[in-house]
Structure 1
Amino acid sequence: MAARHCVYMLAVLTRARACVAAAGAVLAAAVLGGAHAVAGTASGAPPAIAARIDGQPIYSFTLDTLWQQRRAGKPSLERRAALDDLIQVRLLAAHADVPAPKEGGGPSVAFAPDVMLEERLVATLREVYGKDIDAAVKALPGATLDSLVTALPPMPQQQLDAIFGRQGSLKLEIALTQEQETQAGTIDVLRYQLPGGAAASVTLFDVYHRQNVQGRLALSQQPASVAVLQARRIMANAFVLGWASQRFGAQSVADLRKAIDDDETVLALQRLYGIGLDTDSGSPLLNRLSSAASPQEIEAFYQQHKDLFARIDKVRARHIRVADEAQAQRVLKSLQAGASFGATARKMSRAADAGKGGDLGWVSADGSKDWLASLAFSQPPGKPSAPIRAPVGPNETAYWEIVLVEEQVHGVHPLQSETVRYQASRMIALKKAMQQLGEMIEQARRSARIDIAEVL
C-alpha cells in the first residue's frame, strides 16, 4: 500500500497515557482465555507496517494488538486514534530523560524491570489472543504444556545449601553473591523444547532473577519445589512468545515489546512531572517548582481561582448526647421518621444544653474547635449525622453524639493562610510541569518525520 507522508498536531497530554492497559497480575497462570484474535501475518511474509517515525517502523501487529486490547474497555475507540496514541508515546519515550529503574531499588514487591516487561508482553498477548493460544496448547500431545518438558534434572541439596544457606535458618531477605548467582546459573531446573524450536532450559538463576524479595525468600526456603513451579511458568511464557513469533514474526513481537516498554517510560516520565498524581505527590520536579513559586504568582493564582480555596466559615448546629449506641440508633431512627431534632434533644439528650434543644450556636472555622465542633463542620446541612462515639479516654465513660447542621456560611481561605500558600504553589508547579512536558512533546513532534503507511 502506498505510503503517504503525514504531519499532524499531537494533542498535548491528552492521550500520552494508556497505550497499553494494565494486563493482569505478574506471573499469571499459564494460558488464559481471551478476546477475539486480530488478523495475523502469514508465516514468512514481511510484517505489515502501520507507520514510520524517522524511517523506523511501527508494525500493524503492534497497532492491532493494542487497539483490540483497549477496545475491550472502550469499544468506540477508532484504529486511527490508537495509532496516534502509539506514535505519540513512541516519540515521547525517545525524547524522555527518565532515570532507569534499578533492580532491588524499589519496594519489596518490585520485580526486575526486564521481568516486568516480559510479563506485561506475555499478559497482553494472552489477553488479546487467548483463544488462539489455548487452541495451540490443546493441539500439543496430551493437550498440556507438560508435553514440552524434556527433563527435570535433580538438584543436589548440597548445591542448594551452598547457594541459599542451610534449610531452617532464619532469613529476612535473600541476596545472592556474584559467585552464588554464577553457581545457580549452572543448575538446570527444567529442560524443554517448544514446537519447532531448539532445546532450551531454565536454570536456578533464571528462576531467582524473576522473583521479588518475597519470592526469593520462598525460593530459599523450599528451593526444589518452588524452583520447578516457577520454571514451568517461565516455560509457559516462552511458549506464548514462541507461538506469537511463529504466528506474527519475531520483528512484530519485538515491536510490541518496545511499545509496552515505551508506555512504561512515558508513565515514569509523567510521574517525574507529577502528571496524573495528586498535588501532594513526592515528585522531585513538583517539589522544586512549588518551592520556587513567588508570592506574586501565588497571589495572581489566588485571585484567578478563588473557587479552589472555598471553605465553610461557620456553621450553626445542634446535637443530642446519649449514653449508648443502641439508644443512639433509636434516636436516629426517630429523627429520620420526622421527629423534631430540638424537641428530641430536650427529651433525650444528657448534655448540659439539652434544655436549649442541644443548640451549639454558631461555630467558627477560625475558632478553637473541639471534636464535636469538628464533627459539625464535616456534616452536610439538614440531615442528622450517624451516631458517633466520643473519643474518650480509657477511664472515661463513653457516650454517643448525633449532630444536625442547620446552616452553613461559606467563604474562602485568606490569601496569607498556609492553606493558600501550599495549595496554590503546588497547582502552579503542576501547571509549569505540564507546560514543560507539553514543550517536550511539541519538540519531539517538530523534529520527527512521521509517515502513515496505511489508509486508516
Structure 2
Amino acid sequence: MAARHFVQRAARAAAAAIVAATLTGANAVAGPATPDAAAVAARIDGKPIYVFTLDTLWQQRRARKPALERRAALDDLVQVRLLAAHAGAPAPKEGASLTVAFAPDVVAEERLVATLREVYGKDIDAAVKALPGATLDSLVTAQQAMPPQQLEAVFGRPGQLKLEIALSDAQLSQAGAVEVLRYQLPGGEPAKVTLFNVYHRQNVQGRLALSQQPAAVAAQQARRIVANAFVQHWARQRFGAEAVADLRKALADGEAVVTLQQLHGVGLDTDSGSPLLNRLAGDASPQEIEAFYHRNKDQFARIDKIRARHIRVANETQAQRVLKALRGGADFAATARKMSRASDAAKGGDLGWISADGDRDWLASLAFSQQPGKPSAPIRAPVGPNETAYWEIVLVEEQVHGAHPLRSETVRYQASRMIALKKAMQQLSEMTDQARRSAQIEIAEVQ
C-alpha cells in the first residue's frame, strides 16, 4: 500500500535512534531550504501537517530514493496519519517492559533527534561551532562529584551482583535529588540533569552499567541528554515548537502504523505470532481450506517418494576417501558393493523407494533432504554412547513430485495461515479506505 514504504523508513529511523547521538556531522546529509515555520502542507479535519514535517521526511527518504517526488511523500504522510488516528492504537504504557526496553518517551525523543541529525546535521554542527569554544561543553554550567553515600542509597553497595535494576519509589525519589550536572541552552533557562533523568533513559543493560559505575556512566549519559536537548532547542528556534512537535508526531504515527501492519501480517511470514492472524487462522473453515487448496495446489508441492542408495563405512577418514572417489567419477553402486559395511552392500546399497508418508528412520530422512544425482557429504550416524559409530553417504537417484494430501495437517496449517493473512490484509485495506472516506483532507499547493 502507499503508506508502507513511508512506515518502513520510519521504522529504520527508530532502529537507528538508540545509537550514540554524536555531533560530528561527518556523514550528515545537507539540509533542505528552511521552510516557513508556520507553513502548512495539508490539514486533516482541520489539524495541520507542517511543511517542515513534509520536507524533513521527504529529504530523509530522498537520501535513499532520489527519484521520490515531494507530492508522493505528502500522500504517504497523510495516509500514515489517517491510519494511525483511525486505528486508535494506544501508546505503550509507561513502565511496561521497561526492564528490557527503553521508555516510550525516550524512544520518541531519540527518534526525533536522529531524524533531525540525519537531515540537518551540517546546520546543527555549524550551530555547535558557533558556541563558545565550538563545543557543547560550553553549555554545562556546573558539574560536581556525586556523593558516594547518595549513590549507595540509590543503587546499594558497590560490588553486589545484580541481574537487573528496578528501583523502588523511594530510590527513584532519592535519584531525583542527586544532581549530575547543570546546563543552559542558548537563550534558554538554566536546567539540570539528575540521576533519575539518567536512570529513566536506560534499558536493562544501561541500568546495570549505571549501577556498577554510577558516577562515570551518569556523567557520560548526562552529556548525551544535553546534546539531545541542544538539537531539539536548535530545531524549535529555527522551525518553531509546533512544527517540531508535528515531526515528532509523524514519527510516532509511523511507528504506530508499523505495529498495526505487523498485527495484520505485513512484513511477517505466515508463522508469525500475531494474535489477529492466529484468530483468523483458527476461524478458517474446512470448506475455505479445500477451496484454497484447489486454487493454489502448487503451494503445497512436495516430494512424494525417492529412490536412493547408501554406503556405510566405519570411520570418517574412510568416508572421505569414498566421497573423493565418487566425486572423481566412481560408480556409486559399484563402490557400495566394494566398500559398504551395510547388509545391502551386495545390492549396491539400494534402499529402494522411500515414501514421504509414514514413519522414516534417520537414514531415510537424510535421503529425503539430499539433492538428486549428487552424493551427500559423510554423515555420522546418531548412535548411542555404547554403540559403535559409523558414517553414511547417500545418493538420491530419482525423485517423484506431488502435493501434500488435502486432509493432511500440513495443508490445514499452511492453508489456514495463508487464508488468515489474506483476510487480515483485506481488513487493513478496508480500514485505510474508511480512514480516507471519513476524513476531511485539504492539500495545500505542493510542488
Verify same fold: TM over 0.5: yes
Greater RCO, CA 8 A, separation 6+: 1
> In the alignment, is the contact (CA less than 8 A) between 1:103 and 1:111 conserved in 2?
no
Residues 223-278 of structure 1: per-residue CA shift (max 9 Å, x gap): 21111111111111112222222333322221111111001111111222233222
| Cα distance, 1:27 vs structure 2 | 4.2
Matching residue within 247, 250, 256 for 1:259: 250
Distance 1:344 1:79, change over 3 A: farther
Paired letter, 2:34: T
> In the alignment, is the contact (CA less than 8 A) between 2:31 and 2:123 conserved in 1?
no
| Cα distance, 1:440 vs structure 2 | 0.9
> In the alignment, is the contact (CA less than 8 A) between 2:21 and 2:114 conserved in 1?
no
Residues 83-130 of structure 1: per-residue CA shift (max 9 Å, x gap): 221111110000113343234533853111111111111112222233
Q: Is 1:37 aligned to residue 5 of structure 2?
A: no
1:152 and 1:445 map into 2 onto residues whose CA distance is 53
Residues 196-235 of structure 1: per-residue CA shift (max 9 Å, x gap): 3332211111111111122222222222111111111111
Residues 287-317 of structure 1: per-residue CA shift (max 9 Å, x gap): 2222222111111111211112111111111
SS where residue 18 of structure 1 aligns?
A: helix
Bigger drift between 436-445 and 122-131 goes to 122-131
1:67 and 1:244 map into 2 onto residues whose CA distance is 17
SS where residue 311 of structure 1 aligns?
A: strand
Bigger drift between 350-359 and 433-442 goes to 350-359
Distance 1:17 1:46, change over 3 A: closer
1:360 aligns with 351
| Cα distance, 1:384 vs structure 2 | 2.3
2:307 aligns with 316
Matching residue within 440, 444, 447 for 1:453: 444
Identity between Structure 1 and Structure 2 (%): 76
> In the alignment, is the contact (CA less than 8 A) between 1:104 and 1:110 conserved in 2?
no
SS where residue 329 of structure 1 aligns?
A: helix
1:373 and 1:167 map into 2 onto residues whose CA distance is 59
1:82 aligns with 73
Matching residue within 168, 173, 176 for 1:182: 173
> In the alignment, is the contact (CA less than 8 A) between 2:28 and 2:118 conserved in 1?
yes
SS where residue 7 of structure 2 aligns?
A: coil
1:198 and 1:317 map into 2 onto residues whose CA distance is 81
1:74 and 1:57 map into 2 onto residues whose CA distance is 26
> In the alignment, is the contact (CA less than 8 A) between 2:3 and 2:77 conserved in 1?
no
2:249 and 2:82 map into 1 onto residues whose CA distance is 12
Distance 1:92 1:400, change over 3 A: same
Q: Is 1:439 aligned to residue 430 of structure 2?
A: yes
Bigger drift between 144-153 and 303-312 goes to 144-153
TM-score of the two chains, using structure 2 as the length reference:
0.92
2:292 and 2:187 map into 1 onto residues whose CA distance is 65
Matching residue within 135, 138, 142 for 2:129: 138
Q: Is 1:283 aligned to residue 259 of structure 2?
A: no
Q: Is 1:17 aligned to residue 10 of structure 2?
A: no
Distance 1:104 1:172, change over 3 A: farther
Bigger drift between 354-363 and 203-212 goes to 354-363
Considering only aligned residues, what root-mean-square deviation do their CA atoms show, in Å?
A: 2.3
Counterparts of residues 42-441 of structure 1 (less than 5 Å) = 45-106=36-97, 108-441=99-432
> In the alignment, is the contact (CA less than 8 A) between 1:30 and 1:237 conserved in 2?
no
Q: Is 1:28 aligned to residue 30 of structure 2?
A: no
1:358 and 1:312 map into 2 onto residues whose CA distance is 21
> In the alignment, is the contact (CA less than 8 A) between 1:33 and 1:127 conserved in 2?
no
1:7 aligns with none
Distance 1:369 1:246, change over 3 A: same
1:27 and 1:12 map into 2 onto residues whose CA distance is 29
2:391 and 2:46 map into 1 onto residues whose CA distance is 72
Paired letter, 2:332: F
SS where residue 284 of structure 2 aligns?
A: coil
2:321 and 2:7 map into 1 onto residues whose CA distance is 51
Paired letter, 1:87: V
| Cα distance, 1:21 vs structure 2 | 4.5
Number of residue-to-residue matches in the alignment: 444
| Cα distance, 1:55 vs structure 2 | 2.3
Distance 1:422 1:30, change over 3 A: same
Residues 370-389 of structure 1: per-residue CA shift (max 9 Å, x gap): 11211221222222223322
> In the alignment, is the contact (CA less than 8 A) between 1:384 and 1:404 conserved in 2?
yes
TM-score of the two chains, using structure 1 as the length reference:
0.90
1:385 and 1:125 map into 2 onto residues whose CA distance is 55
Q: Any stretches of 5+ residues in structure 2 without a counterpart? A: none
Q: Any stretches of 5+ residues in structure 1 without a counterpart? A: 1-10
SS where residue 406 of structure 2 aligns?
A: coil
1:3 aligns with none
> In the alignment, is the contact (CA less than 8 A) between 1:290 and 1:429 conserved in 2?
yes
SS where residue 277 of structure 1 aligns?
A: coil
> In the alignment, is the contact (CA less than 8 A) between 1:219 and 1:226 conserved in 2?
yes
SS where residue 133 of structure 1 aligns?
A: helix
